[in-house]
């Protein structure tokens, strides 16, 4: 890649490969990896990818396909791409996976320290310049951020899009609701995992058994066969990993030790995700942007994730590493810090910060007859109710009249809901929808909340409430509660004639239309029937605050907004 003023490192080297390289950690545990080097006697910067998957299948010579669960772990990028352009690419298994020794740490502090030590070992090799970086998506990126926060002296930059920051909120417990579908599937992607319960190591055998007994009294958990089997047989396979997640249903030390600690990171970082990955990686891109202390850039791309084996972003990452590892002045830091893809235009928008400084959060009230509007609630509005049970998963949807203005939404939304239930708990699944001109609904993003875990943290922002998730406060049946539900950021240019809608349910039983939607499905459900009531009147103004960055200057029209008589297309 080149322009009139700069170019990236040229493709000019043959490649030599060292396989099954063993590197001993200070405690004697050996990590195993493959090292791809330029076939030259020179010294080169090193790019590291560390992971828990099959290293022999990271970048096979095969045609890429769109993201599929069967290839989901192929996330290291093409090692020969980097080696041919003057970089060493090292791909290593973390301890307790693949051919690495020891026990798997589930991205805990021991695992992070291992990769810090490995980074410094790579920097000290005779073929290394002493400068290292880290590259990859998902697990690779998540670990790279954690390592960057630990500040190994040789690490100079990371290229780490598609990385969660908070494993409790972004991966395992959306809104406090266990996302068991991803958990029980993902554990099967680990390569030859050797795992023993961290809970048992920290608390002892007796406390471990007592905690399992308490978990087995949870009706939500015991209705899910893989979870029940894991609790009944915690020593079998990777069941102990599932059990450890089940035994930590609240945010606390276990999860804090596995967070990315972005606020401590001074290393230059390239962050990002895609709009379709709202059930896994997307929230972490924005929390990382907010907290990261070092130089940073971010790209949020089209809602389609990335192909496997991974190859996209390699030219962009090459330019990033040329700048930070080789000292090549290619002006990469002179360009806008954030770029966002805006569906359905197919175009990109440059931003100076996140959320966009020009955002106006506009309040849309939930009205009777399923109407969503900026208009204030009027006297005499009533309530809406739906039933939630094993036999019926009800829902209510509120939609605007047809828009008369192209209206761009870009950023996080928040739903404020006044709600009661006949149960002592409510699991809430909120979907932001686009309703096209033919009346078809299109899912854009989601928000979740376990109502008993509704208390906010002190660091919440008006546009993005952060919930503490430290304990449960059961609901009193029939009592009205005010709930604030954060909705994962999204981007969409709603066109004239389309409608904005919000759907509220007590379960996520909608069939996913693609693998990314599947990442945001398969949560726990309530085992007992309930009637859930939503209040929207002058005293209980249920509403959603939407991030408007373009249009909606006059607002929606109850008249239907018929603009065809003016010769304007709908």
Residue 10 lies in a domain: no
Q: Which of 210, 182, 364 is nearest to 277 (CA)?
A: 182
**DSSP tag of 65:** B
Cα separation, 278 vs 255, whole angstroms: 20
Cα separation, 466 vs 251, whole angstroms: 12
Contact 304/274 with Cβ under 8 angstroms?
A: yes
Residue 548 lies in a domain: yes
Contact 285/274 with Cβ under 8 angstroms?
A: no
pLDDT score recorded for residue 568: 59
Cα separation, 188 vs 195, whole angstroms: 13
* Chain mean position to CA 495: 27
Three-state SS for 438? coil
* CATH number of the domain encompassing residue 98: 3.40.50.1820
Three-state SS for 371? strand
* CATH number of the domain encompassing residue 375: 2.60.120.260
Helix 139-150 × helix 109-123 angle, to 10°: 80
Contact 65/74 with Cβ under 8 angstroms?
A: no
pLDDT score recorded for residue 559: 82
Residues 561 and 413 in one domain: yes
Contact 434/529 with Cβ under 8 angstroms?
A: no
Task: Point out the domain boundary residue: 351, 382, 416.
Answer: 351
**DSSP tag of 94:** P
Give the count of domains, the chain: 3
Residues 460 and 337 in one domain: no
Q: What six digits make up the tokens of 570? A: 């709908």
Half-sphere exposure of 79 (CA within 13 A, CB side): 29
Q: What are phi and psi of 104, to 5 degrees?
A: -65, 140
Residues 322 and 198 in one domain: no
Task: Point out the domain boundary residue: 212, 241, 256.
Answer: 256
Residue 2 lies in a domain: no
Q: What six digits make up the tokens of 392? A: 């019926």
Q: Which of 185, 86, 74, 84 is nearest to 136 (CA)?
A: 74
Q: What six digits make up the tokens of 537? A: 């009147």
Q: Which of 398, 337, 366 is nearest to 483 (CA)?
A: 366
Residues 520 and 404 in one domain: yes
pLDDT score recorded for residue 565: 58
* Residues with pLDDT less than 70, the chain: 563-570
Contact 385/532 with Cβ under 8 angstroms?
A: yes
Strand partners for 441 = 435
Residue 450 lies in a domain: yes
Overall size of the chain counted in residues: 570
The alpha carbon dihedral of 336, 337, 342, 346 has a sign of positive
Q: What six digits make up the tokens of 146? A: 């954690």
Contact 78/314 with Cβ under 8 angstroms?
A: yes
Strand partners for 540 = 537
Question: What range defines the domain where residue 92 resides?
Answer: 15-164+260-351
Residues 265 and 252 in one domain: no
Contact 230/243 with Cβ under 8 angstroms?
A: yes
Contact 281/162 with Cβ under 8 angstroms?
A: yes
198-203 — which CB contacts under 8 Å span 24+ positions?
198/105, 198/106, 198/108, 198/244, 198/254, 199/243, 199/244, 199/247, 199/248, 199/254, 200/240
pLDDT score recorded for residue 566: 59
Residues 175 and 157 in one domain: no
Residues 21 and 134 in one domain: yes
* Chain mean position to CA 34: 28
User: What does 179-235 look like in DSSP terms, one character per residue?
Assistant: -HHHHHHHGGGSSS-----HHHHHH-HHHHHHHHHHHTT-HHHHTSHHHHHHHH-TT
Residues 180 and 324 in one domain: no
Contact 137/162 with Cβ under 8 angstroms?
A: yes
Residues 42 and 59 in one domain: yes
Residue 434 lies in a domain: yes
Residues 376 and 515 in one domain: yes
Cα separation, 228 vs 233, whole angstroms: 9
Q: Which of 528, 544, 525, 534 is nearest to 444 (CA)?
A: 544
Q: Is 241 buried (19+), middle (13-18) or exposed (0-12) by CB count in 10 A?
A: buried
Residue 1 lies in a domain: no
Residue 33 lies in a domain: yes
Cα separation, 393 vs 531, whole angstroms: 11
Place of tokens 């990955």: 277
Q: What six digits make up the tokens of 80? A: 């020969």
Residues 28 and 177 in one domain: no
User: What does 6-62 look like in DSSP terms, one character per residue?
Assistant: -BPPP----EEEEEEEEEE-TTSPEEEEEEEEESSSS-EEEEEEEESS-GGGSS-SS
Contact 502/372 with Cβ under 8 angstroms?
A: yes
Using only C-alpha atoms, what is the Rg of the chain? 25
pLDDT score recorded for residue 70: 86
Residues 535 and 506 in one domain: yes
Helix or strand (DSSP H, E) at 442: strand 441-450
From the CB of residue 416, how many other CB atoms can be counted at a distance below 10 Å?
Answer: 18
**pTM for this structure?**
0.96
Contact 246/227 with Cβ under 8 angstroms?
A: yes
Task: Point out the domain boundary residue: 241, 256, 271.
Answer: 256
Residue 221 lies in a domain: yes
Contact 560/399 with Cβ under 8 angstroms?
A: no
């Amino acid at each position: 890649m080149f322009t009139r003023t700069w170019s990236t490192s040229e493709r000019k080297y043959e490649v030599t490969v060292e396989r099954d390289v063993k590197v001993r950690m200070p405690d004697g545990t050996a990590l195993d990896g493959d090292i791809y080097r330029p076939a030259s006697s020179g010294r080169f910067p090193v790019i590291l990818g560390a992971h828990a998957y099959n290293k022999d299948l990271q970048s096979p010579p095969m045609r890429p396909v769109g993201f599929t669960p069967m290839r989901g772990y192929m996330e290291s990028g093409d090692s020969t791409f980097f080696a041919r352009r003057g970089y060493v690419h090292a791909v290593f298994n973390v301890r307790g996976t693949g051919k690495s020794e020891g026990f798997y740490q589930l991205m805990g502090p021991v695992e992070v320290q291992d990769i810090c030590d490995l980074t410094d070992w790579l920097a000290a090799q005779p073929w290394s310049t002493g400068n290292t970086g880290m590259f990859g998506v998902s697990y690779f990126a998540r670990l790279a951020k954690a390592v960057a926060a630990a500040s190994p002296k040789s690490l100079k930059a990371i290229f780490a899009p598609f990385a969660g920051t908070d494993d409790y909120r972004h991966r395992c417990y959306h809104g406090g609701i266990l996302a068991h579908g991803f958990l029980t599937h993902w554990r099967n992607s680990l390569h030859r995992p050797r795992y023993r319960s961290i809970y048992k190591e920290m608390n002892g055998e007796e406390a471990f058994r007592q905690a399992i007994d308490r978990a087995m009294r949870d009706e939500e958990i015991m209705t899910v066969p893989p979870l029940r089997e894991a609790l009944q047989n915690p020593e079998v396979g990777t069941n102990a990993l599932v059990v450890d997640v089940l035994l930590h249903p609240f945010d606390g030390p276990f999860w804090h030790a596995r967070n990315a600690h972005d606020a401590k990171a001074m290393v230059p970082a390239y962050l990002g995700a895609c709009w379709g990955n709202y059930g896994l990686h997307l929230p972490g891109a924005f929390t990382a942007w907010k907290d990261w202390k070092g130089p940073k850039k971010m790209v949020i791309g089209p809602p389609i994730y990335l192909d496997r084996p991974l190859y996209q972003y390699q030219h962009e990452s090459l330019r990033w590493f040329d700048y930070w590892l080789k000292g090549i002045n290619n002006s990469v830091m002179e360009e806008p810090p954030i770029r966002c893809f805006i569906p359905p235009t197919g175009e990109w928008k440059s931003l100076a910060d996140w959320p966009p400084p020009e955002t106006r959060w506009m309040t849309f009230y939930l009205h009777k007859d399923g109407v969503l509007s900026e208009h204030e609630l009027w006297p005499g509005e009533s309530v809406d109710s739906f039933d939630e049970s094993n036999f019926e998963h009800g829902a209510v949807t509120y939609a605007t009249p047809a828009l008369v203005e192209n209206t761009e939404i870009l950023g996080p939304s928040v739903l404020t809901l006044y709600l009661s239930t006949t149960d002592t708990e409510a699991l809430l699944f909120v979907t932001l929808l686009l309703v096209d001109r033919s009346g078809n609904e299109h899912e854009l993003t989601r928000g979740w909340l376990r109502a008993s875990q509704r208390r906010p943290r002190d660091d919440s922002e008006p546009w993005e409430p952060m919930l503490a998730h430290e304990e449960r406060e059961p609901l009193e049946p029939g009592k009205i509660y005010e709930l604030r539900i954060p909705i994962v950021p999204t981007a969409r240019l709603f066109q004239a004639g389309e409608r904005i809608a919000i759907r509220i349910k007590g379960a996520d039983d909608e069939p996913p239309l693609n693998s990314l939607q599947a990442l945001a499905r398969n949560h726990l459900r309530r085992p007992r029937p309930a009637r859930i009531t939503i209040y929207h009147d002058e005293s209980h103004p249920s509403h959603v605050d939407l991030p408007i960055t373009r249009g909606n200057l006059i607002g929606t029209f109850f008249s239907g907004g018929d603009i065809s008589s003016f010769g304007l297309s709908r």
